[in-house]
């Protein structure tokens, strides 16, 4: 698979836009990149080759920890989000490489990655993961969908299928200049500290499958949409204008145990929602997919007229061309239950934002440490752990662990939070600061459509979220069929990309 500089037209009223794109050739390059389909248990081999230019098309900031080429070229590396694979195929932030492998990062080994696809069938996506450049490389277009299929499971469920009735919707926000070029603010919120870096990127236009505010013609029957939030920082609260509902069958890479019907639902950056929309029940011939999530989420600005609309479904007034024989079954897939029982260890993970004298963010850390600091999260391969994740910022953070699958089981409000913060600023130890005595407030509700094994979990501000983390195969609890303890290890991080780059990311090193 090639990584190329390419031009793409995002809207009929915009000139062409220069982007970075995935594709097997320059003619076939697209944003998002080609959807890769794999079979459960059958390995996929991909050679990633960089043909990006000497210079980036977007402003980047060398004052955050960044992969920098000494001889020119855009560093990149590919991470299969939600993939279960050996460390050398994980797309380490330090495994970057430039055009034709002229330069490589310290963790780079080989150009061909092997994805064993040993996990259960489900939805994944692939994207850039280069150190300090993830936000600009994804914004430039390095994004694509990946699916692991199990025909036996899919035929049994009999959900909508086929290229017309089973589709990806890769949703992201972007801003464009009048000349069509991507627009990203080149001045940081603390320019004397970070000349370019800002805490979040929000675009005015909502882009779906490479088109700004598109429409899709649909028949009056059930459709399955695998929705990927590929935005840098924007949360979405989706609803439909004509009262149609969503039936959730999966979240991230896992099925739910049974379908869940909602009128709206919230997606954080990197999350995947697997939903059914039944257009046969529509009383109108169109439906607009809407968004009303504030930005930053949950306490930021309200959406405006531009980013409150996502896309339009144009619904045929006629009967389907063929009978719709698909079903929404009463039950879906049951995996091992998420339980504290049998967990080998409890860890405390604290998210904190650091401010300048002007009160604006300078950087974000997890447990007060950088990515470059030695790993403190060293779970045993094959184990299950409890992570108590404490959010002391004003933002909701999507926590993503590489390799592992996990599930929130309890969300407790922190009481006397200022007292707890004051203690943490001195001791930086949640146990020493008696977090158990603070996480005693009201419990937040975990939506039913998120009650499965996930790859990103929303961490609410001012709350402690109890997360069951499995470092083994979810279907049967078996150990990974490869050495997960090898170098260069894995990472975990916030998936707001501007946070991840500066520097809400930590090493995750499994041990035997």
Please check whether residues 127 and 191 belong to one and the same domain.
no
Q: Are residues 17 and 99 in the same domain?
A: yes
Q: What does the alpha-carbon distance between residue 274 and residue 147 come to, in Å, rounded to a whole number?
A: 12
Under 8 Å between Cβ of 138 and 71? no
Task: Write out 303-363 in H/E/C secondary structure.
Answer: CCCCCCEEEEEEECCCCCCCCCCCCCCCCCCCCCCCCCCCCCEEEEEEEEEEECCCCCEEE
Cα 260 vs. chain centroid, distance in angstroms? 21
| Residue 111 and residue 227 share a domain | no
The CATH number covering residue 297 comes to 2.60.40.420
Query: Are 188 and 194 in contact, with CB atoms under 8 Å apart?
Result: yes
**Domain annotation covers residue 198:** yes
Instruction: Write out the two tokens for 472.
Output: 């083994």
Q: How far apart are the first and last CA of the chain?
A: 34
Q: Considering 118, 150, 182, which residue would you say is the last residue of a domain?
A: 150
Q: Can you say how many angstroms the Cα of residue 82 is from the centroid of all Cα atoms in its chain? A: 9
Per-residue pLDDT of the chain in tens (512 residues, 90 and over written 9): 999 999 999 999 999 999 999 999 988 999 999 999 999 999 999 999 999 999 999 999 999 999 999 999 999 999 999 999 999 999 999 999 999 999 999 999 999 999 999 999 999 999 999 999 999 999 999 999 999 999 999 999 999 999 999 999 999 999 999 999 999 999 999 999 999 999 999 999 999 999 999 999 999 999 999 999 999 999 999 999 999 999 999 999 999 999 999 999 999 999 999 999 999 999 999 999 999 999 999 999 999 999 999 999 999 999 999 999 999 999 999 999 999 998 999 999 999 999 999 999 999 999 999 999 999 999 999 999 999 999 999 999 999 999 999 999 999 999 999 999 999 989 999 999 999 999 999 999 999 999 999 999 999 999 999 999 999 999 889 999 999 999 999 999 999 999 999 999 999 999 99
Q: What is the pLDDT of residue 342?
A: 87
3-state secondary structure of 296: coil
Which neighbouring-strand residues pair with 248?
A: 260, 275
Note whether 172 and 215 are same-domain residues. Answer: yes
Q: For residue 276, which phi and psi values (nearest 5 degrees)? A: -110, 135
Domain shared by 214 and 90, yes or no: no
347 forms beta bridges with 387
Largest CA distance in the chain: 67
Same domain, 175 and 139: no
pLDDT of residue 317: 96
Which residues lie below 8 Å from residue 19, measured CB to CB, with a gap of 6+?
Answer: 5, 6, 7, 8, 31, 57, 140, 141, 182
Q: What is the pLDDT of residue 245?
A: 98
Examine residue 336 and state whether it is found in any structural domain, yes or no.
Answer: no
**Same structural domain, 46 and 135:** yes
Find all residues with CB under 8 Å of 335, minimum gap 6, and list them: 120, 254, 257, 452, 453, 474, 475
Asked if 124 and 187 sit in the same domain, the reply is: no
Question: Which of these three, 315, 333, 367, is where a domain ends?
Answer: 315
Angle made by CA atoms 82, 470, 413, in degrees to the nearest 5: 95
Question: Based on the domain organization, do 124 and 63 belong to the same domain?
Answer: yes
- Domain-located, residue 326: no
Total of domains in the chain: 3
Phi, psi (rounded to 5 degrees) for 156 = -65, -40
Report the pLDDT value the prediction gives residue 26, as an integer from 0 to 100: 85
Query: Are 46 and 118 a contacting pair, CB within 8 Å?
Result: no
Q: Are 457 and 408 in contact (CB under 8 A)?
A: yes
pLDDT score at 493: 98
Sheet of strand 490-494, all strands in order from the earlier edge strand to the far edge: 456-459, 397-401, 490-494, 505-508
For residue 393, being part of any structural domain is answered with: yes
Count Cα atoms within 13 angstroms, Cβ side, for 377.
31
* One domain, residues 351 and 383: yes
In this structure, the answer to whether residues 351 and 259 fall within a common structural domain is no
Cβ-based burial of 31 (10 A; exposed 0-12, middle 13-18, buried ≥19) = buried
Of 268, 299, 315, the position where a domain reaches its end is 315
Q: Kindly state whether residue 482 falls inside one of the protein's structural domains.
A: yes
Is 197 a member of any domain? yes
Q: What would the 3-class secondary structure string for 13-76 be?
A: CCCCEEEEEEECCCCCCECCEEEEEEECCCCEEEECEEECCCCCCCCCCCCCCCCCCCCCCCCE
Does 192 lie in the same domain as 247?
Answer: yes
Q: Looking at the domain assignment, is residue 329 inside a domain?
A: no
Residue 289 lies in a domain: yes
Q: Phi/psi of residue 470, each to 5°?
A: -105, 120
Domain that holds residue 228: 166-315
Buried b / exposed e along 88-117 (16+ C-beta atoms within 10 A): bbbbbbbbbbbbeeebbbebbeeeebebbb
């Amino acid at each position: 698979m090639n990584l190329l500089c390419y031009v793409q037209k995002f809207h009929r009223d915009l000139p062409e836009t220069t982007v970075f794109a995935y594709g097997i050739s320059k003619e076939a390059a697209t944003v998002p990149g080609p959807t890769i389909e794999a079979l459960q248990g059958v390995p996929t081999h991909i050679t990633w080759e960089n043909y990006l230019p000497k210079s980036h098309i977007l402003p980047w900031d060398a004052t955050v920890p960044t992969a920098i080429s000494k001889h020119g070229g855009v560093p990149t590396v590919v991470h299969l989000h939600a993939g279960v694979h050996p460390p050398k195929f994980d797309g380490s932030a330090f495994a970057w490489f430039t055009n034709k492998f002229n330069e490589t990062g310290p963790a780079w080994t080989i150009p061909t990655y092997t994805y064993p696809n040993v996990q259960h069938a489900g939805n994944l996506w692939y994207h850039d993961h280069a150190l300090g450049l993830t936000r600009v490389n994804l914004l430039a277009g390095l994004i694509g969908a990946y699916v692991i299929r199990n025909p036996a499971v899919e035929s049994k469920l009999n959900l909508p299928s086929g290229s017309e009735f089973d589709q990806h919707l890769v949703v992201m926000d972007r801003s464009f200049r009048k000349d069509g070029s991507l627009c990203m603010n080149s001045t940081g919120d603390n320019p004397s500290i970070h000349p370019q870096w800002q805490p979040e990127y929000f675009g005015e236009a909502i882009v779906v499958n490479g088109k700004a505010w598109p429409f899709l013609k649909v028949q009056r029957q059930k459709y399955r949409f695998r929705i990927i939030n590929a935005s840098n920082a924007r949360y979405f609260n989706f609803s439909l204008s004509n009262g149609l509902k969503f039936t959730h069958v999966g979240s991230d890479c896992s099925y739910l145990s049974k379908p869940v019907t909602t009128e709206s639902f919230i997606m954080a950056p990197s999350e995947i929602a697997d939903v059914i929309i039944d257009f046969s029940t529509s009383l109108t011939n169109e439906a607009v997919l809407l968004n009303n999530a504030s930005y930053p989420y949950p306490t930021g600005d309200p959406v405006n007229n531009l980013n409150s609309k996502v896309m339009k479904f144009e619904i045929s007034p006629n009967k389907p061309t063929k009978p719709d024989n698909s079903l929404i079954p009463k039950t879906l897939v049951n995996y091992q239950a998420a339980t504290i029982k049998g967990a080998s260890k409890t860890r405390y993970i604290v998210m904190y934002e650091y401010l300048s004298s002007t009160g604006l963010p300078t950087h974000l850390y997890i447990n007060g440490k950088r990515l470059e600091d030695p790993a403190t999260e060293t779970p045993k391969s094959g184990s299950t752990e409890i992570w108590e994740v404490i959010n002391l910022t004003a933002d909701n953070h999507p926590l993503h662990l590489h390799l592992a699958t996990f599930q929130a089981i309890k969300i407790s409000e922190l009481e006397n939070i200022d007292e707890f913060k004051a203690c943490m600023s001195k001791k930086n130890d949640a146990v020493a600061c008696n977090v158990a005595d603070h996480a005693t407030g009201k419990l937040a509700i975990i939506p039913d459509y998120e009650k499965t094994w996930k790859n990103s979990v929303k961490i609410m501000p001012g709350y402690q979220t109890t997360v069951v983390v499995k470092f083994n195969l979810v279907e049967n609890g078996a150990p990974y069929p490869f050495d997960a303890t090898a170098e260069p290890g894995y990472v975990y991080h916030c998936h707001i990309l501007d946070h991840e780059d500066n520097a809400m990311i930590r090493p995750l090193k499994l041990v035997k």
